[in-house]
Structure 1
Amino acid sequence: MTVYQVKGDTLRYQAVHLTPMDIMDQISDDADEMTYLRFPMRITPIKDIWVNFKTSFYKESPKADDLPDVMIWLGGVLCMTPKAKSLLEESLTPCGEFLPITIDNSPYYFFHCTTYGKEDPELTLNEYSDGTLIGLKHLVFLESDIASKTVFLSERSRSSIIYCTNSFKTLCETHDLKGLIFDEKLLNPFIE
């Protein structure tokens, strides 16, 4: 089974410009700031306290003129148009939650993944530098665990990257949803 790291194609499509300061400015004074700031890297649902944030798109690359149908925000969160949500909702709902957001005065949705894929304990290897853990050297998921999951996070990679099976990639391609790159190099940080 092929597994992909899902990346935003920020060389061709605009990215979501929502910073921690934007979040702090838009939540109420009694809100738990850390819950909002850390939610992209946690699988704890946040829908019950979610604030419909207002933000904008921006160009990470000079050639990023187009708006995406689906984009990555902070590595582990998908951002999508209402059309993309309606096309992907059935397959994504078992893996997380949809959170409304307003971008450039238009409705969009974050998809907050709340599902882990189990890593193969024998084939997933840590990387060390001078005896200090710096990340993963090799990442392999258990096929028996991820076979029924469309998208998922890796607990060993600190939940900072969203991964998918071929079913999600095929759905995006079938519906011609633009904005994502599907990389078989699960630990490659670069957009190629």
Structure 2
Amino acid sequence: MKAYGWNNHIKSMVLISDRDKTHPITSRFDGTPKLDLWSPAKVKTATKNSYKDFPVFLTSKPVISARVKEAIEPFVKDEVEFLPLIHEELDLYMVNVTKVLDCVDWKRSDIQTFKDGSLAGFNKLVFDFEKIPEDTYIFKFKERATTLVFVTEAFKDLIESHKLKGLDFSEVYDSEFTEEKELEQKRNYELALAEIERNKGEEFSYEEALERVDQGQAVASGKWKMQLDEKGRFWLGNLNLELKYSWIMPIYMPPVLLGYRWHEVEKSEI
């Protein structure tokens, strides 16, 4: 069995709400029902992008198009509520996931804690798949029910069979990913970083790296990569354990990158 984080594709459109603080759209989505209190909420486009079936909502609450709802509703009707939204062009729904499971494998997960010992976050999240029912399509886990949504391989197959685009299924949690495979993955990651180091040519400062990026080159430093896309937009990539770059359009650059030495590399497809 596999599970995937609900992550929007970088080409998905971005939405914002009209910020009515009295509306349930601003409340915590912790798995409790909201449909009885809901009235259609107004949202508008903040960023126009290619994919419109899974728009990004800035409060990290899943949003889908009407055709996604039509495709998944027979399968997830006992796991979610579909909350209608008002948009000037699109028929959209916010998804309130009500299936909340106690399914974290705490022995294999690597957690961050506050000074009082309470959970702050995860360096590594591992699921106990025996606690995820086989017929599950979409779920949350109770310790992060207000922020994180996950889907299973059955959901992924459903989306792909309908040729719906806008979700990134690269964040994978696999029941067959044993501790031995985890160690192998880490070894391969270290080898990949070592290969990047061996093949680097001339090194230069962060300032010069930005100049070369502006000229259409791609530059790298360790696991980090910077380049422009075909529209001339700046992207920052972070090589993950799956040996794929996770790309963001940064609002600001992590200060640590300013002191790194950079070198030219082949551009990636974004």
Q: TM-score, normalised by structure 2?
A: 0.57
Render the CA deviation track for 1:31-84: whole Å, top value 9, x for unaligned.
Answer: xx6x542233x111000010201111221xxxx532411234333x32111111
Residue 109 of structure 1 is aligned with which of 89, 93, 110?
93
Residue 127 of structure 1 is aligned with which of 94, 105, 112?
112
Matched, 1:167 2:151: no
| Other-structure match for 1:22 | 19
Residue 137 of structure 1 is aligned with which of 123, 128, 144?
123
| Other-structure match for 1:12 | 11
Deviation at 1:128, TM superposition (A): 3.5
Structure ID, larger Rg:
2
| Other-structure match for 1:30 | none
Which runs of 5 or more structure 1 residues have no equivalent in the other structure? 28-32
Deviation at 1:8, TM superposition (A): 1.1
Distance in 1 between the 2:156 and 2:69 partners?
15
Deviation at 1:131, TM superposition (A): 6.9
Would you say the 8 A contact 2:38–2:83 is kept in 1? yes
Distance in 1 between the 2:32 and 2:170 partners?
26
Secondary structure in 2 aligned to 1:104?
Answer: coil
Which has the higher relative contact order, 1 or 2, with Cα contacts under 8 A spaced 6 or more apart?
1
Secondary structure in 1 aligned to 2:40?
Answer: coil
Alpha carbons of 1:175 and 1:14: their partners in 2 closer, same or farther (altered >3 Å)? same
**Count, aligned residues:** 173
Alpha carbons of 1:171 and 1:185: their partners in 2 closer, same or farther (altered >3 Å)? closer
CA RMSD of aligned residues (A): 2.5
Secondary structure in 1 aligned to 2:81?
Answer: strand
Secondary structure in 1 aligned to 2:147?
Answer: coil
Would you say the 8 A contact 1:152–1:164 is kept in 2? yes
Residue 40 of structure 2 is aligned with which of 29, 37, 52?
52
Secondary structure in 1 aligned to 2:127?
Answer: coil
| Other-structure match for 1:97 | 81
Amino acid at match of 2:37: I
Deviation at 1:123, TM superposition (A): 2.4
Secondary structure in 1 aligned to 2:76?
Answer: helix
Distance in 1 between the 2:129 and 2:172 partners?
17
- Percent same amino acid among aligned pairs? 21
Q: TM-score, normalised by structure 1?
A: 0.77
Which runs of 5 or more structure 2 residues have no equivalent in the other structure? 174-239, 248-270
Distance in 1 between the 2:36 and 2:113 partners?
39
